Structures are given as structure tokens and as C-alpha cells.
Structure 1
Amino acid sequence: MARLFGTDGVRGVANADLTAELAMELSAAAAKVLGEAGAFTGRRPTALVGRDTRISGQLLSAAVNAGLASTGVDVIDVGIVPTPGLAYLVNTQGTDLGVMLSASHNPMPDNGIKFFQRGGVKLDDSIEDSIEERLNEQWERPIAGDVGRITTDEGHALRQTYIDALVASLEGVRLDGLKVVIDAANGAASYTAGPAFEASGATVVGINNTPDGLNINDNAGSTHIEGLQAAVVEHGADLGIALDGDADRCLAVDATGAVVDGDHIMAILALDLKEQGKLHNNTLVATIMSNLGLIIAMREHGIQVEQTRVGDRYVLEAMAQNGFTLGGEQSGHVIISEYANTGDGVLTGLHVAARVARSGRSLASLASVMTTLPQVMINVPNVDKMRAGVDPEITRAVTQANNKLGMSGRVVLRPSGTEPLVRVMVEASTAENAQQVAEQLAGLVASRLAL
């Protein structure tokens, strides 16, 4: 049986794969597992529950609230809030458990359930496995006064607390004089991004910020950035910020309409933190899929890049283990650990804008610190992906290719986490060279590992 939890919680088509019954069972099981593990601090544990703007979030959050209350957990339903906002509130409010209903950048029919334990951190794989094992078990339920209470965050006071913290993270830096276009993807940031930027002094032009429960991520946000590019040019803005449905990732657009991806954003923020003396050990954490151009640019500025497996959880692990202060992914998940313990798109956008304001330079000028090397990715399907790293001929060919590319290129072979395929990624000084090497290696993988 396939594992229910993926790399970022449990996801599926709402009310088909991810039903109200499953949501209730998952939340009850999570409360039992964490309670028995000593993760709860008092006799009456507490939980915060949030959701993005998908219409299915209403029924799923009701089910989660019921599941938690059935175990004796007191619940505050925060309503619509970004995923990083819920994580922040779980941490700062001293809450024992957080549950977020969101499928991030996925299309509207999908939804998901993500758990945070005390401190606002994601659950370890072992805890998720224990939750799966406890689904649908028979157990002694609390009764009478021992059942949990469910309340709502009237007036969205908790959400405002999060917005205030975003503004405070700029530590007095003002964005006055900057015009910023914000694409909220008709998601949770529709209620937080604009207010945070405006409170920081920016002139805000909002697009895709009128969610109706059905239009989240629909030709909008960080996965459909074309609309933002056009809007920035149309309004003569200094920059644009593209968020996804739950606002845990951020991409940017400069005044000319050019995209500034997660690698460039990390480069900009790494130099900013280094200048302030806040970049711990002068180290940036990125995944193996970040462009080699980032590594070269950071090396030229005395910054080391520590690379991890793909996934923000692995970036977070490396940061936590070593006290690093900045990390992220090319996709726009950026973690600034002084202010957050998860990727936060609005926080990232604010600090990019603050760098523009503080330096007096355009975003295009700041982003020019790194040059993106041509990158070619070929997916090789229907292969035994587990042998990709041990087949001697493939290993030899990869070594030879890396030696030939030298400091101006590299090869990464990565098995897919969900499909029987191997991803062959090649970077080189020219697109032609990258394509040639990638095709040669993809052909070898296909012949050697065919099922």
C-alpha cells in the first residue's frame, strides 16, 4: 500500500480522494499520536486550524475541527490564512498543534492536510507513519466536559497578528516610493500581502486578489506569472511579487517584466544578509536543483552554498542542524530563519523589496549578481529508478561528463519520488552543449535501466 503522506502532507481531489471522513480520522489520529508522545503541554491541548480559499476547505476544516475536538483538543478556527502564517501563529501562540487545509499551487479541485507540531514545525516522517497506522482504530473517546471546544478567530485578530509580524520583520525599513504589483493567486495571500506591503509604505497594485472559492491558482500566481509580467509593465511598477495559493513561495518580476526566480532571490537576500552580518557562517542552503550559476555567483562573493535533496523539508533540516539563516529552492520557497521556520512568500517579497529600497538599486540590477547557466532536463520514463545511482556504466558516464564540463557545468541524475522515471539534468556554458550531454545520458539511462 502506498504511503498516504507525501512530501508535503496528504493531498488529493477534495471530496473524492480527500474526504471529510479521512480528514476527521487524520486529525484525530494526529492528536492521539502527538498526545501520547508527550508533545502536548497541558491537560487541555490546543490547536489552530487554517485553510486557503478553496471552497472545499470549508467542509474539510469542519471535519478536522470535529476530529480534534473528539480527542479533547480545544480548537481555534483561524479561517483563511497562508500556510506560513499558520505556522507562525502555532509557534508564537504556544499552540500544541496546527492543521492547514491547502494544496498549495495545485489546481482548485485538489486540497490537502498539513500538520504542524508545537513550535510551528512540520512532522517527522516517523510521526506521519504512526498517524497512518492509527487510522480507523477503536479507542476510548472523552465524554462530557472532556471533549474539545471549537471557537473561531472573530475579527481575524490572529491573522492581523501575523500581518503585523511581517511588517515588523523589516525592522524599520520603509518601502515608501516603491510601486509593487502583487499577484495573490486568488489564494490566502489575498487578505495578507496587500495589507503588509501597504503598512510598510509601498504603493500596491493588486491582481488576482478576489477569491471566490473556485479561482485559486487559475491562470494566476507563481505558476502562471505572465499576467504579473504584463501588469508590472502596464502600471510602471518597480517590481512585482507572485505568490501561490497558500503563499509559501514567491517569485518576482523586475520593472522590465523579466522573471526573477528563487535562485536569484536567494542570491539577492544572501548578499543583503551578509552585508548586515546576519548570514550565519556565510552559508546559503539550496537544493541540488538550484542553478550552478547561483553557486558560482555566491563563491565570487565569499558565500558557500550547502546543497540538499529536493524539498523544502531537507533545506529546513540543514538549516536547523547548523544554525543557517537563509535557504530555499529555485521554485521560490525561501526560508529566512530569523523570522520564520518555513517558506513564506509574503515575507520573502517584503525583504526583496526592502533590499531594493535600502540599496537604491533596481531589482534587475540586484538580480544581475548571478547569471543563469543553460539547463536541460530530460525525464526518462519506465526505468528501474533505484539503480540509477549504482549502475557502473551510468556512474562512469556521469563522472566523465562532469569532468568534461568542469567548473562551467554539471550533471544531476535524480530518481522521481512518485513515478518510475529518472530525471537527467545537465547545465553547461551553452544550451547546445547541455542538450547534447543530456540526450546522451538519457539514452544510456533508458537502455541500461529499462523495465
Structure 2
Amino acid sequence: MGIYFGTDGIRGQYGKDINPKIAYNLGNSIAKLCKNRKKILIGRDTRASGDVLLHGFVSGVLSYGIDIIDVGITPTPVISYLTKKLNFDYGVVISASHNPSNHNGIKIFNREGCKLDEIEESSIEKNLIYPTEKISRLGKYFYKPKLIKLYKNEVYSHFNNLSGLKVAVDCANGATSKLAKELFTKCRATVLAINTSTNGKKINKNCGALFPEKISNLTTKLNCDIGFSFDGDGDRIIACDEKGKILDGDDILFLLSDQFKAPKVVGTITSNKGLELALKEKNIEFFRADVGDKNVRLMMQKQSAFLGGETCGHIINSQFSNSGDGILTALSIAQHLKTNQTKLSQMTTFKKFPQVCKNVSVSDKQKILSSPPLQKYLSEKENVIQTSGRIVVRASGTENKIRIMCEHQNPTEAQKITDEISAILGNLDKND
């Protein structure tokens, strides 16, 4: 990761970590890398700061003579799809994903509709250092929200008959607020949608993928067949069955591996051990990537796998898209129910290892992670638990936090190890 880029683009608190000047400079920097097509696509989620950041970015692009097309408020995967479909140099989304409304960020896709790799990010950051060259021609700005119809048509070509299904959706007051219900309705499902406001102050507030109990309660209360919960920009999904049982990204990957007969599946270092063992029993190869959907996609390419995802709900099926796509994944699961004429609770599942996760705020995450006391503890503990569980301690790519994940066949032991690591981190931070 570089100076600006984290695990998922650039992200932070608006006014402190990200502002219109940064957006302008980034737009100008990316414009310098446009080679042949010389055009950039942009969209955003519902955040109040999205408009001013978008226009800052647009101004930076135009000042370097590159054209830019704005499709307005739209889910992140729509930008990924249209970037590749319409031959844009880059696709850009102004969003901080699942983060609170006072945060914002910038996600960037290359011409294949994939998140940038570290080499591409490094090229952009290098351009930020050099002064802007004088360009005789200014670029042109176009507002074309109707381009989103191309994505709608593509989705509808795959999923067009969900009649008889009653579906609940939580749109997190974000980018899927209109599109999710529209697509499910067009596919003939009965849709009950909540948190569909486009008020930027409400995005992700006690709703969406980080609060799956909301959709669980709604699904059971209204006797729906299935429920789906998206995050603010629509690239994550959490589901629940008709009984309200919550299904995370690991559950969804297991379900889709059966639906699409995937010979290989890519997860991450935090994917549950139970998923790995269950896939192995089905003779499906399982690979672990570093956290972050762009790392999942890179591992998918490396291993020639078309299905991959994260526990948090980023699910990529490259048969349809190069990006995590909440709506597409939701429709895939709904179609699976429709085709098999069964309840989600009756579909094959797997036994998870008890898992405990905790985030610890620290002042210098890299320094603390490499400290001898922590490394000594982790080495000794991993030798003890061996095949009984796993420990993952890593730096957050978006916040000043260290994330702890411990899974163990004994849930009490998982909690104990997590608490011990947390205490070590706290002491190290205090003495730093």
C-alpha cells in the first residue's frame, strides 16, 4: 500500500483525510495515465460529501484534457461493468463503502473493470508528485445516467423469472436504494425494501450489511423467502434464510460453489476454516488471498478460478463481473431457490469453526505488529493450536487499527486467545 491507497482505494474522514483538493489532484494524476481511449467514467454513492468530491475529481481530469462521463448515484459494480463494456480508460466511484456518512473515498477500476493493483496505484501516486503539464485542450464533461440501463439489461438477461419469491432487501440508504428493488421487481419477485433513502447522512447508519439483524428480523416478520442486506455502495452482501439465520460471505461462497459447479474457490486469510474443509470434502480446491476484494480477484486470476469472496460479503463471480456485486449475487441466490423449488434453510451448509474477531485501535500499527513480544506470543500459540484453529493478526488497510481473528474448535479457547492478544496490543500501544 502506498501513501494514499489502502486495501480498497483511498478512504477516510471527509475534511480530514480526504477533501476536494485531494480529489482534484487524483483526477489530474489519473488523467495523465489515459493512453488511447482518453475517457473516464465516474459515479458515486449517496453521501453528502460525494457531490463536491466528484466535482473536484472531475475538474482535475478536465484540466488535463481528458473527457469524463458521470452516471450519478449508482452501485460500485455498475461502474466496474460499464468501464469494461464501454471501453473507458478508468472507472471511478466516490464512496467509502460500509463506512459512516462522514467518511468518503475514491475507488478506481482499470479498463478491464478490475480494482487497481499496487503497480497501477504506485503509478498514480508518482504522478501526484510532478507538477501539472500545460494542456491546450480542456476535457469535456457529460452527465449520462441512462448508461446504467446497460447494466440493468445485462442483469435481466441472466435472471428474468423469480415469480413466486418474496424477497426482503436492506439497501443501507445507499447506492442500491432504487436499483435493487427495480431489478428484483423486473425479475418478477415480490420485493419489500427498507432503508432506501438517498439522504447522505443516513447511509450505513444502523442499517445495511453491518447490521444483518435488521434484515433477519424483517424477513421473519413479513414471512419472506429470503432477505438480503447491502452496504452503502452495493459491492457487499449479507443474506438470511426464511427463518432469519444470517449467512455471511463464507456461507454464500459455499452455496454458490454448488450452484455454479465451481472447481476452485478463492477466499481470504480470514475465511472460516470450516469453509475450507467443507469444500475439500466436495473436491473443490480452496485458495486464500490477502484481505481485500482486489487481492481475491488477483488470486482468482492466478489460480484460474471464477468464484471468490470475503467473509464480509464481497462476492466475485467473474462469469458475470470482475467486481464484487451485491445485487448480482442476491439475484443468483434467489434464482437458485427458484430453480430448486426449496427453502434456503434446507440447502446444504457447513459447520463453522467458532471464530472471535476484535479490532484494537493503536497509534502505529506496523510498528506494533512487528514487535518481538507480539511475534513471540503468536509463534508459541500457533505451535500449540496447530490444526485445532487459526490466528490472524493484521493491520487494517483503512483505519489505525489492528484486527484480530482467532478460530478454534473450542470457542472458550478462541475467546481467551483473542483477549490475550488484545491485552498485548494495548500494552504495546501504551508504551509506544
Q: TM-score, normalised by structure 1?
A: 0.88
* Cα distance, 1:307 vs structure 2: 1.0
When structure 1 is superposed on structure 2, of 196-205 and 323-332 the one drifting more is: 196-205
* Cα distance, 1:112 vs structure 2: 0.7
**Alignment partner of 1:158 out of 136, 141, 147:** 147
Counterpart in 2 of 1:50?
A: 43
Structure 1: unaligned runs, 5 residues or longer: none
* Cα distance, 1:131 vs structure 2: 2.2
Q: Within the alignment, does 1:247 sit opposite 2:234 as a pair?
A: yes
* Mapped contact 2:156–2:187 kept (Cα < 8 A): yes
Closer, same or farther: CA 151–425 of 1 in aligned 2, 3 Å: closer
Distance in structure 1 (CA, Å) of the matches to 2:20 and 2:416: 50
Question: What residue identity is the alignment partner of 1:28?
Answer: N
Closer, same or farther: CA 135–178 of 1 in aligned 2, 3 Å: same
Closer, same or farther: CA 237–83 of 1 in aligned 2, 3 Å: same
* Mapped contact 1:169–1:339 kept (Cα < 8 A): no
Counterpart in 1 of 2:139?
A: 148
Question: What residue identity is the alignment partner of 1:372?
Answer: K
Counterpart in 2 of 1:339?
A: 320
Counterpart in 2 of 1:31?
A: 31
Counterpart in 2 of 1:226?
A: 213
Question: What residue identity is the alignment partner of 1:54?
Answer: R
* Cα distance, 1:128 vs structure 2: 2.0
Question: What residue identity is the alignment partner of 1:342?
Answer: S
State the superposition RMSD in angstroms.
2.5
Question: What residue identity is the alignment partner of 1:431?
Answer: P
* Cα distance, 1:351 vs structure 2: 0.5
**Alignment partner of 2:410 out of 404, 422, 430:** 430
Q: Within the alignment, does 1:289 sit opposite 2:278 as a pair?
A: no
Counterpart in 2 of 1:412?
A: 391
Superposition map of 1:299-310 within 5 A: 299-310=280-291
* Mapped contact 1:386–1:415 kept (Cα < 8 A): no
Q: Within the alignment, does 1:79 sit opposite 2:72 as a pair?
A: yes
Distance in structure 2 (CA, Å) of the matches to 1:388 and 1:120: 41
Closer, same or farther: CA 135–373 of 1 in aligned 2, 3 Å: same
* Cα distance, 1:442 vs structure 2: 6.2
Question: What residue identity is the alignment partner of 1:416?
Answer: A
* Cα distance, 1:29 vs structure 2: 0.8
Q: TM-score, normalised by structure 2?
A: 0.91
> How much identity, in percent, do the aligned residues show?
35
* Mapped contact 2:314–2:326 kept (Cα < 8 A): yes
* Mapped contact 1:262–1:334 kept (Cα < 8 A): yes
String of CA shifts for 1:153-201, please: whole Å, max 9, x gaps: 1xx321121122122233x6x2110000111111111121111111212
Counterpart in 2 of 1:358?
A: 339
* Cα distance, 1:4 vs structure 2: 1.5
- Specify the SS of the correspondent of 2:331: helix
Structure 2: unaligned runs, 5 residues or longer: none
Closer, same or farther: CA 295–100 of 1 in aligned 2, 3 Å: same
* Cα distance, 1:390 vs structure 2: 9.6
Counterpart in 1 of 2:99?
A: 106
Question: What residue identity is the alignment partner of 1:398?
Answer: E
* Mapped contact 1:164–1:196 kept (Cα < 8 A): no
- Specify the SS of the correspondent of 2:177: helix
String of CA shifts for 1:301-338, please: whole Å, max 9, x gaps: 22121111111111111111222010000000000011
Counterpart in 2 of 1:260?
A: 247
* Cα distance, 1:91 vs structure 2: 0.5
Task: Count matched residues.
Answer: 426
- Specify the SS of the correspondent of 1:355: helix
Question: What residue identity is the alignment partner of 1:100?
Answer: V
String of CA shifts for 1:261-292, please: whole Å, max 9, x gaps: 11111100001111xxxx2xx11100111111
Closer, same or farther: CA 233–189 of 1 in aligned 2, 3 Å: same
Counterpart in 2 of 1:385?
A: 369
**Alignment partner of 1:41 out of 36, 45, 48:** 36
Closer, same or farther: CA 66–393 of 1 in aligned 2, 3 Å: closer
Q: Within the alignment, does 1:92 sit opposite 2:85 as a pair?
A: yes
Distance in structure 2 (CA, Å) of the matches to 1:377 and 1:94: 41
* Mapped contact 1:308–1:314 kept (Cα < 8 A): yes
* Cα distance, 1:76 vs structure 2: 1.0
Closer, same or farther: CA 110–436 of 1 in aligned 2, 3 Å: closer
Counterpart in 1 of 2:195?
A: 208
* Mapped contact 2:276–2:286 kept (Cα < 8 A): yes
* Mapped contact 2:116–2:294 kept (Cα < 8 A): no
Q: Within the alignment, does 1:181 sit opposite 2:168 as a pair?
A: yes
Distance in structure 1 (CA, Å) of the matches to 2:373 and 2:284: 29
